[in-house]
Structure 1
Amino acid sequence: MERNGIEFDEDLNGVPIKSLDLILSEILAEWKTEAAELDILPGSDAHIRASAVAGQLYAAYVSGAVGVNQYLPDTATGQYLRALVKEEGITEKLATHAKGLQLEFRRDPNLTRTDVEVRIPAKSAKVITHDGVVFESTEDAVLAPNSPAAIVPYQAVVAGKNGNILAGEIIGFYAQPPAGINYVTNLDATADGSDDEDDESIRERYFEATEQEDWHGSPAWLEAEAKKIAGITSATAIKNARGEGTTDLLVTSGDGIPSQAKLDEVHTYLTDPTREPINIDLRVIAPEGIVIPIRVKAPTLTQVHAEKAYKAYLASVGGGGTVHPSRISAALINAGAPFAEVYEPAAPIVLTNTQMPLPGVVTLV
């Protein structure tokens, strides 16, 4: 290709550049023109010197081409995108830890006296799910004399969506159990675990911020402000949800159902009295969880793998989607089953915009 009388033979993200070979051949050709007796064959002194110069020029072309794409938020990536969006007050949201409230430790009456206190300091006992996600208690667990169990809050050791688990997914201890304790599980689901924000999410929030309505408290403003909070992955404002002058803000955390603590955090942030009042009756709500059990025939697939595949499929559906039996079947086949017949649900389940599917009991027949 030729542009402004200059020959280019590569394209980097839409920007024409010269290849290393073209630059090298042009340098050698120019030197040969100036000194016809010059040896420019590979291995010659001239060829070695020209190769070094060509390499540096090629690097400059690449750097320039990359710079063109990093100049605008439409195409910028990584640190360049994050620097550009700061002008709109947009900063990257880091990963958050999934948290739960009911981690249960039970003592083993066969290994220790039941009439003595057992104390498990916070974070001293790591526990694990069948998928290998590790959690830890966040408060001391104290089993009083003659008390068989203690329940404490807990959180994932590593931040991220993987920490969003269902009740009962914790199956044991990561290492040795505490003295006198032989059983642990989670009695509730965890919530609010999210991954580091990616480029596309940052870009989307940037354009929402630049295009939102000007007035403080508008639906677009509420949505954009809510998504500034770590862990919040979507926000939808429902104007006049409960009558004139009311707005419901539907949010998800880690692409799932947020905890009440996260809902309270969003509401507190949006109604902060140190800022301009929003002058609306605001309620921050979570999607309604719709539990969907399945009954399937999926030969060779273990219970654990079937549950994992089904959970991943429902996560891809999200709020307001449709749960298709045929896609449940496809998810199980992708997980390793030679075929999969779904008996329940027998028909697609259509969810409203305020509903989110949650995995129920997976029955393999």
Structure 2
Amino acid sequence: MPFERPTLPMLLERSAADIEAWMPGGDAHVPSHKLHLLGKVNAGAAHGQHGHLAWLAKQLLPDQSEWETLLRWGSLWGLAPLTASGAYGDLPITGQPYALIKAGATFQRADGWEYVVSQTINLDAAGNGLVPVVSLVGGYAGNCVAGTDLRLSRAVAGISASVKVGAKGVTKGADAESLESFRERVTFRLRNPPQGGALNDYVAWARAAHPAVTRAWAYSNQMGPNTITVRLVCDHDPAGLIPSQALLDEVYAYIRERMPATPVLYVIAPIPKVVDVRVVVSPDTPVVREAVSLEIQDWFLVDPDIRPEGTVYMSRLSEAISKAKGERSHILLLPIKNQPAGPGEIQVPGVLYWSET
């Protein structure tokens, strides 16, 4: 039978019974008696020791261990949490012909976020050039969409002070890997030892390539004989879970360096299949609606069947809605049946509609 940790009241009673057994005539149950106080002290100490033992038990395996112990587990297999990645890209700048901008010059966004020039370049004869920049601080917040205004932090002779981010943006910034994400990689490594090119190896390589990658899947021969197809998503990216081509290229390069030479590798984004939801909820209040909305969004991220060519099962979606805080009952009106994804597709949450009873 599994060991059941005794509660503090149970320990108090045990301590009092032990004292009375060893001291005939003494009564450790009288609140004001010194024997009762001695029993409380003993029970409190034992309760603390049981708590420490319970904490130690969770450190024995990586599925429940805390950060420091998880780092030790990861180090046994050469795994370390991925640090935050700084956004980078090329800025189209203008100025006088052949003007020089040196590495180390910085551009600043309106909110104060800074980007440093990583390579010295000269403008061409028409006064145009592309200068590579990288965010000084890692994280999703450093990403810039096309058209974002940047300005030189300090004037550079012959270079226009203001610039707009080009069509490709400044991308691939990502927050540092979370505890649970690192735990997933460690437990995946424990369950799937490297085999020099098995499908699980491609999943592990994709997850290790960049902190933005949160889920990945590998398939053999989908693109023809002797091919490996890797699909991945970025669940925590504010821009959406479908990865950019720049990120796909980086993951491709990372895997290509480690995989066997013979297969043909494809690293591609899954095709989003939008799944709209309509629900009647009771009680129908703004607070309950917000809770239901959050549960649905989370469910699309964690349900194991939400994957390329997976299926949205109505029963499991309904179960997720039932977990919403304050929800008493609901009726799921849409989707009207299970939603399987086609080849290369992955289901993503669409519009959430509310209906009244």
Do the two structures share a fold, i.e. TM-score over 0.5?
yes
- The answer to whether 1:137 aligns with 2:128 is no
3-state SS in 2 of match to 1:16: coil
Question: How far is 1:182 from its partner?
Answer: 3.4
Residue type at the aligned position of 1:197 = E
CA distance in 2, matches of 1:261, 1:26: 62
**1:154 equivalent in structure 2:** 133
**1:178 maps to what in 2?**
155
What displacement does 1:62 show?
A: 0.9
**For residues 234-313 of structure 1, what are the structure 2 equivalents within 5 Å?**
234-251=215-232, 256-257=243-244, 258=247, 260-270=249-259, 278=260, 280-287=262-269
CA spacing shift, 1:83–1:20, aligned 2, 3 Å? same
What is the CA-CA distance between 1:247 and the residue it aligns to? Answer: 2.1
Q: CA deviation at 1:287?
A: 1.9
What SS does the aligned partner of 1:184 have? strand
Q: Which residue of 2 aligns with 1:58?
A: 47
Deviation, 1:60, is: 1.1
Deviations 1:31-60 (A, max 9, x none): 467373889757x87777665544432221
d(CA) in 2 for partners of 1:40 and 1:116? 93
Whole-angstrom CA distance in 2 between matches of 1:192 and 1:176: 23
Q: 1:285 to 1:75 in 2, by over 3 A?
A: same
Are residues 27 and 259 of structure 1, via their aligned partners in 2, closer, same or farther at CA, if it must alter by over 3 Å? same
TM-aligned CA distance change 1:269 to 1:121, over 3 Å? same
Alpha-carbon displacement from aligned partner over 1:61-81 (angstroms, at most 9, x marks no partner): 111112223323343342333
* C-alpha separation in 1, matches of 2:39 and 2:128: 76
Number of the residue aligned with 1:91: 79
What is the CA distance between 1:149 and its match in structure 2? 5.5
| Structure 1 equivalent of residue 209 of structure 2 | 229
Cα distance in 2, alignment partners of residues 268 and 27 from structure 1: 63
Q: Does residue 344 of structure 2 align to residue 353 of structure 1?
A: yes
In structure 2, give the amino acid aligned to 1:171: D
Superimposed CA distance per residue, residues 132-164 of structure 1 (whole angstroms, 9 cap, x where no aligned partner): 482412425656599655532222333233334
Letter in 2 for 1:60: Q
Q: Structure 1 residues 208, 263: CA separation in 2 closer, same or farther (over 3 Å shift)?
A: same
1:216 matched to 2:196: yes
Native 8 Å contact 1:24 1:51 kept in 2: yes
Secondary structure, counterpart of 1:158 in structure 2 = coil
Unaligned runs of 5+ in 2: 275-296, 311-340, 349-357
Within the alignment, does 1:80 sit opposite 2:55 as a pair?
no
181, 198, 205: which one pairs with 2:178? Answer: 198
Whichever residue aligns with residue 166 of structure 1, its letter is V
What secondary structure is seen at the aligned counterpart in 1 of 2:4? strand
What's the TM-score, normalizing by structure 1? 0.57
Could you report, residue by residue, the CA deviation over 1:78-120 in whole angstroms, capped at 9, with x for unpaired residues?
2333434555x2613322424332124556xxxxxx5894645
Letter in 1 for 2:145: L
> What is the distance in 1 between the residues matched to 2:190 and 2:170?
34
8 Å Cα contact 2:138-2:174 kept in structure 1: yes
SS of 1:23's partner is helix
- The letter for the 2-side match of 1:67 is L
> How far does residue 167 in structure 1 lie from its aligned partner after superposition?
2.0
* Cα shift at 1:267: 0.9
Whether the 8 Å CA contact 1:92–1:197 is kept in 2: the answer is: no
Query: What are the superposed Cα offsets for residues 199-247 of structure 1, whole Å, 9 maximum, x if unpaired?
Result: 4434433454455488532222322233333434443323123422222
**Partner Cα distance (2:214, 2:6) in 1:** 42
Question: Structure 1 residues 49, 262: CA separation in 2 closer, same or farther (over 3 Å shift)?
Answer: same
State the SS of the aligned residue for 1:228: helix
212-221 or 260-269, which deviates more: 212-221
Cα RMSD for the two superposed structures: 4.9
Closer, same or farther: CA 356–245 of 1 in aligned 2, 3 Å? same
For 1:36 and 1:239, how far apart are their aligned partners in 2? 76
Residue in 2 that maps onto 1:331: none
Instruction: Give the 3 Å change call, closer, same or farther, for CA 263–214 of structure 1 in structure 2.
Output: closer
Q: Does the 8 Å CA contact 2:251/2:267 hold for their aligned counterparts?
A: no
Unmatched 5+ residue regions in structure 1? 4-13, 108-113, 271-277, 293-311, 323-349, 358-365
Q: Provide the rounded CA distance (Å) in 2 between the counterparts of 1:235 and 1:207.
A: 15
Task: Within 5 Å, give how 1:1-16 maps onto structure 2.
Answer: 16=4
| Residue type at the aligned position of 1:100 | Y
Equivalent residue runs for 1:306-345 within 5 Å: none
Q: Quick one: percent identity of the two aligned structures?
A: 15
What residue number does 2:334 align with?
Answer: none
